[in-house]
């Protein structure tokens, strides 16, 4: 039985007997039946068995980035990924510091917005909807403004699907002795990120993206000396990473009520990640999904927003067909009726939509999606998928 059949067969049916559709979205995403089943038990937040789950998760996440246990810390935090980004920015950037935010989509813009709210000085290097920030440009910005203390980069900018050149930028930032904060939300677990090759100071991700858990918490992996130096910096009681870390180190517990079922599901999801061959195994499957998707959609006449070299194995943006009968709402509904949920586009300039390749699914699911796309287009009367000029 293929991975997809196994997942499909065990997908939870709703009251109407319909199977839930595949989520071709960048999280929440389709999770395995075993990950869902791990949520069928209640846990006490003070209980030793539950605390062991938390400890194992933190160990495993540090091991995934090859971070030495005594120089880096892993701090899980309740809430969606943005809560963890906000906590990380508040912890990493000194109140008298200044950040350079590299933006090429919604998540870079969101980081700048967070810094506005926090009242931390920052400048934005904005590349628009889909162009990558390059090492040279970052070097120029840093050399021109010595007040900048930290650089924020989104690894995979999920709003377009671009995989930004992290290694190139990390080199430039580190050569100038600045702090590097990476939003690896939608790449961590599938795109390699190791402290040895990318000397980041802080990285943020969450349970419900490439690690294939369910939503409910994020986590920050950061240098311990930086964490220690952040005492008194936090603007918020509940988003104070140092307090959360100290409490966890001392008691093994989360500081406030943990999302116990989500943590249990994530523990199972991490075991499955490991069984698949870790980051390399997951990258291989997602890459096959992406290649099948992009090839199939191009055969149907669709065009991708990005050139091949910038395509991530996470999510791909396609231009909407210029054909007058194409309408995204209808396309979405036709696909959903056939068992697939896709994502609207997030470009400011052109009409587009996005299809994710992450979650518990493989090429056979993508092949069936392509059949569904073909049927949906026929139902809508769209016979030409080229974008509007
Ligand atoms: C998903 C995501 C986030 C966090 O979004 P939430 O909706 O708060 O979970 C942040 N950055 C990127 C790049 C993401 O893909």
The verdict on 82 and 110 lying in the same domain is yes
Kind plus residue range of the DSSP H or E element containing 315: strand 315-319
Query: What is the CATH number for 258?
Result: 3.40.640.10
C-alpha separations of 182 from 6, 41, 188, 243, 272 in Å: 35, 34, 10, 21, 25
Backbone angles phi, psi at 324, to 5 degrees: -60, -20
Q: Identify any residues that bridge with 204 across adjacent strands, giving them in sequence order.
A: 183, 220
Cα(68) to centroid(ligand 1), Å: 26
| d(C-alpha 31, C-alpha 87), whole Å | 27
- Residues in contact with 9: Cβ distance below 8 Å, sequence separation at least 6, in sequence order: 1
Q: Confirm whether 54 is domain-assigned.
A: yes
Is the C-beta atom of 26 inside 6 A of ligand 1?
Answer: yes
The 202-206 sheet, strands edge to edge: 72-78, 217-223, 202-206, 179-183, 150-154, 98-103, 121-126
Contact 205, 189 (CB under 8 A): yes
Is the C-beta atom of 214 inside 6 A of ligand 1?
Answer: no
Is the C-beta atom of 53 inside 6 A of ligand 1?
Answer: no
Is the C-beta atom of 158 inside 6 A of ligand 1?
Answer: yes
Cα(377) to centroid(ligand 1), Å: 31
Contact 163, 308 (CB under 8 A): no
Contact 51, 258 (CB under 8 A): no
The verdict on 187 and 225 lying in the same domain is yes
| 69 labelled ligand-binding | no
Pairing assessment for the beta strands 352-356 and 343-344 based on DSSP bridges: antiparallel
Cα(255) to centroid(ligand 1), Å: 23
Cα(83) to centroid(ligand 1), Å: 9
Query: What is the CATH number for 24?
Result: 3.90.1150.10
The verdict on 9 and 74 lying in the same domain is no
Q: Confirm whether 138 is domain-assigned.
A: yes
For the CA of 206, the closest atom of ligand 1 is 9
Number of domains within the chain: 2
Q: Count of alpha carbons within 13 Å of 12, Cβ hemisphere only?
A: 12
If we measure between CA atoms, which residue out of 198, 192, 147, 195 comes closest to residue 172? 198
**pLDDT at residue 280, as a whole number:** 97
Cα(270) to centroid(ligand 1), Å: 19
For the CA of 158, the closest atom of ligand 1 is 15
Q: Confirm whether 385 is domain-assigned.
A: no
**pLDDT at residue 5, as a whole number:** 47
Kind plus residue range of the DSSP H or E element containing 271: helix 260-275
In the block, tokens 């000194």 appear at: 94
User: Which residue's alpha carbon is nearest to atom 3 within ligand 1?
Assistant: 81
Q: Confirm whether 387 is domain-assigned.
A: no
The verdict on 64 and 193 lying in the same domain is yes
Is the C-beta atom of 86 inside 6 A of ligand 1?
Answer: no
Token duo for residue 264? 């249990």
| d(C-alpha 157, C-alpha 245), whole Å | 28
The domain boundary, picked from 246, 273, 300, lies at 273
The pLDDT tens digits along the chain (389 residues) read 455 444 444 444 444 444 789 999 998 999 999 999 999 999 999 999 999 999 999 999 999 999 888 899 999 999 999 999 999 999 999 999 999 999 999 999 999 999 999 999 999 999 999 999 999 999 999 999 999 999 999 999 999 999 999 999 999 999 999 999 999 999 999 999 999 899 999 999 999 999 999 999 999 999 999 999 999 999 999 999 999 999 999 999 999 999 999 999 999 999 999 999 999 999 999 999 999 999 999 999 999 999 999 999 999 999 999 999 999 999 999 999 999 999 999 887 889 999 999 999 999 999 999 999 999 999 999 999 999 98
Backbone angles phi, psi at 186, to 5 degrees: -95, 5
Q: Confirm whether 95 is domain-assigned.
A: yes
Is the C-beta atom of 35 inside 6 A of ligand 1?
Answer: no
Is the C-beta atom of 107 inside 6 A of ligand 1?
Answer: yes
The verdict on 200 and 313 lying in the same domain is no
For the CA of 155, the closest atom of ligand 1 is 13
**pLDDT at residue 2, as a whole number:** 52
Q: Is 270 helix (H, G, I), strand (E, B) or coil?
A: helix
Contact 210, 282 (CB under 8 A): yes
The verdict on 287 and 305 lying in the same domain is yes
Ligand 1 pocket test: pick from 130, 156, 158 the residue with the most ligand atoms within 8 Å of its Cβ. Answer: 158
Token duo for residue 126? 């904005």
Q: Confirm whether 348 is domain-assigned.
A: yes
Residue 314's domain spans which residues?
Answer: 3-34+278-379
Cα(358) to centroid(ligand 1), Å: 14
Cα(186) to centroid(ligand 1), Å: 7
User: Which residue's alpha carbon is nearest to atom 9 within ligand 1?
Assistant: 81
Cα(188) to centroid(ligand 1), Å: 12
Q: Can you say how many angstroms the Cα of residue 334 is from the centroid of all Cα atoms in its chain?
A: 27
The verdict on 7 and 65 lying in the same domain is no
The domain boundary, picked from 249, 273, 297, lies at 273
| d(C-alpha 189, C-alpha 145), whole Å | 34
Cα(217) to centroid(ligand 1), Å: 11
Is the C-beta atom of 213 inside 6 A of ligand 1?
Answer: no
Q: Confirm whether 293 is domain-assigned.
A: yes
| d(C-alpha 94, C-alpha 98), whole Å | 8
**pLDDT at residue 68, as a whole number:** 83
The verdict on 86 and 170 lying in the same domain is yes
State the pTM of this model.
Answer: 0.95
The verdict on 200 and 251 lying in the same domain is yes
Contact 223, 72 (CB under 8 A): yes
The verdict on 13 and 45 lying in the same domain is no
The verdict on 237 and 140 lying in the same domain is yes
Is the C-beta atom of 81 inside 6 A of ligand 1?
Answer: yes
Max Cα-Cα span within the chain: 63
User: Which residue's alpha carbon is nearest to atom 2 within ligand 1?
Assistant: 185
Using alpha carbons only, how large is the chain's radius of gyration in Å? 21
In the block, tokens 């980051």 appear at: 279
The domain boundary, picked from 222, 249, 273, lies at 273
∠262-263-268 over CA atoms, to 5°? Answer: 95
What confidence tens digit (pLDDT) does each residue in 293-309 have?
999 999 999 999 999 99
Q: Is 169 helix (H, G, I), strand (E, B) or coil?
A: helix
The verdict on 102 and 248 lying in the same domain is yes
Is the C-beta atom of 104 inside 6 A of ligand 1?
Answer: no
Q: Confirm whether 85 is domain-assigned.
A: yes
On the 0-12 / 13-18 / 19+ scale of CB atoms within 10 A, 278 is middle
Is the C-beta atom of 25 inside 6 A of ligand 1?
Answer: no
């Amino acid at each position: 039985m293929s991975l997809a059949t196994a997942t499909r067969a065990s997908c939870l049916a709703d009251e109407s007997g319909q199977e839930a559709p595949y989520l071709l979205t960048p999280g929440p995403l389709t999770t395995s039946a075993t990950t869902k089943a791990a949520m069928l038990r209640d846990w006490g937040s003070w209980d030793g068995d539950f605390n062991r789950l938390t400890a194992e998760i933190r160990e495993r996440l540090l091991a995934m980035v090859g971070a030495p246990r005594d120089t880096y810390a892993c701090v899980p935090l309740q809430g969606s990924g943005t809560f963890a980004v906000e906590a990380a920015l508040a912890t990493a950037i000194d109140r008298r510091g200044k950040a350079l935010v590299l933006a090429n989509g919604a998540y870079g813009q969101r980081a700048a917005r967070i810094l506005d709210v926090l009242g931390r000085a920052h400048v934005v290097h904005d590349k628009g909807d889909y162009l990558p920030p390059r090492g040279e440009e970052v070097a120029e910005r840093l050399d021109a403004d010595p007040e900048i203390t930290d650089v924020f980069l989104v690894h995979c900018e999920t709003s377009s699907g671009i995989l930004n050149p992290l290694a190139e930028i990390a080199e430039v930032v580190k050569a100038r002795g600045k702090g590097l904060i990476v939003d690896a939300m939608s790449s961590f677990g599938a795109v390699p990120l190791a402290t040895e090759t990318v000397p980041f100071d802080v990285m943020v991700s969450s349970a419900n993206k490439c690690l294939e858990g369910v939503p409910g918490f994020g986590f920050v992996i950061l240098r311990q000396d930086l964490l220690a130096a952040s005492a008194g910096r936090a603007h918020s009681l509940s988003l104070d990473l140092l307090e959360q870390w100290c409490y966890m180190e001392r008691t093994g517990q989360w500081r406030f009520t943990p999302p116990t079922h989500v943590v249990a599901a994530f523990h199972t999801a991490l075991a499955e990640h490991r069984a698949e061959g870790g980051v390399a195994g997951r990258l291989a499957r997602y890459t096959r999904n992406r290649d099948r998707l992009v090839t199939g959609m191009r055969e149907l006449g669709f065009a991708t927003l990005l050139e091949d070299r910038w395509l991530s194995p996470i999510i791909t943006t396609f231009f909407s067909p210029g054909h007058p009968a194409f309408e995204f709402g209808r396309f979405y509904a036709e696909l959903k009726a056939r068992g697939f949920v896709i994502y609207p586009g997030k470009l400011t300039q052109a009409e587009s939509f996005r299809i994710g390749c992450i979650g518990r699914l493989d090429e056979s699911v993508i092949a069936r999606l392509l059949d569904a796309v073909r049927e949906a287009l026929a139902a809508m009367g769209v016979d030409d998928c080229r974008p509007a000029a």
